[in-house]
Amino acid sequence: MAKVFILIKPDGVKRGLVGECVNRFENAGLKVVAMRMLKLSEAMADKLYPSDKQWLENLGMKAKESMNKIGKDIKDDNVSHGKKVRQWLMDYVLSSPVVAMVLDGNDAMTVARKLVGPTDGAAASAGTIRGDFSSDSIVTATSDGRANMNVLHVSSDEKETENQTKIFFD
Ligand code: ADP
Ligand code: MG
């Protein structure tokens, strides 16, 4: 059995999608083993997302790739733009209450990521949570100067699961 950390972001909570998300995870055989609703403190939000150079570089690169696809460029280097996106992300997750949970099950992270879909709701397949409940994209978010609002966060490796779980649960 493996675990995965999930955070239903402010838009997901405000829109009343907590039950919908939990239902989809449970239907796929994942068990909720911990869950709490709270408003994040700045310190918690800061711990939630990495701030190392590699992570910022990837975030900046992902933004650049999305903008290049529509023939636009981001002038900042990847790390500088990554820092900007991370700040947008902080503002987003701090904006109103979130629901944190840990799911347990066979291949929990792979299963959860499949159910959630990719970052851009606009491109996510119908049937995934982001595909069914978000039409936002990195391109739109970039031009608005804010985070891409995509209902929920899913941890992406074992270390991230462990670190993020520790922020919310004993
Ligand atoms: P995911 O949540 O799909 O694993 P990332 O880990 O790359 O995506 O990014 C974390 C979150 O930051 C995303 O879910 C999204 O809300 C936001 N985000 C990522 N890249 C951008 C960007 N270039 N512009 C605005 N928001 C972004
Ligand atoms: Mg991620």
Predicted local distance difference test score (pLDDT) of residue 113: 98
Distance 119 CA to ligand 1 centre (A): 6
SS (H, E, C) 60-80: HHHHHHHHHHCCCCCCCCHHH
**116 within a domain of the structure (yes/no):** yes
**72 within a domain of the structure (yes/no):** no
**56 within a domain of the structure (yes/no):** no
| CATH number of the domain that residue 103 is part of | 3.30.70.141
- For ligand 1, whether the C-beta of 119 sits within 6 Å is yes
Number of helices (H), then strands (E), in the chain: 9, 4
**17 within a domain of the structure (yes/no):** yes
Ligand in nearest proximity to the CA of 153: 1
- For ligand 1, whether the C-beta of 56 sits within 6 Å is no
- For ligand 1, whether the C-beta of 141 sits within 6 Å is yes
Query: What is the rounded CA–CA span in Å between residue 24 and residue 42?
Result: 30
Distance 45 CA to ligand 1 centre (A): 14
- Burial (CB count within 10 angstroms: exposed 0-12, middle 13-18, buried 19+), residue 12: buried
Domain of residue 32, residue span: 2-51+97-168
Number of structural domains found in the chain: 1
**16 within a domain of the structure (yes/no):** yes
The proportion of the chain whose per-residue pLDDT surpasses 70, expressed as a percent, equals 100
* Nearest residue to 5 via CA among 161, 159, 151: 161
User: Would the pLDDT of 129 be above 90?
Assistant: yes
* Nearest residue to 144 via CA among 78, 75, 92, 80: 92
Average pLDDT over residues 55-71: 97
**113 within a domain of the structure (yes/no):** yes
Which of 85, 90, 109, 114 has most ligand 1 atoms within 8 Å of CB, for mutation? Answer: 85
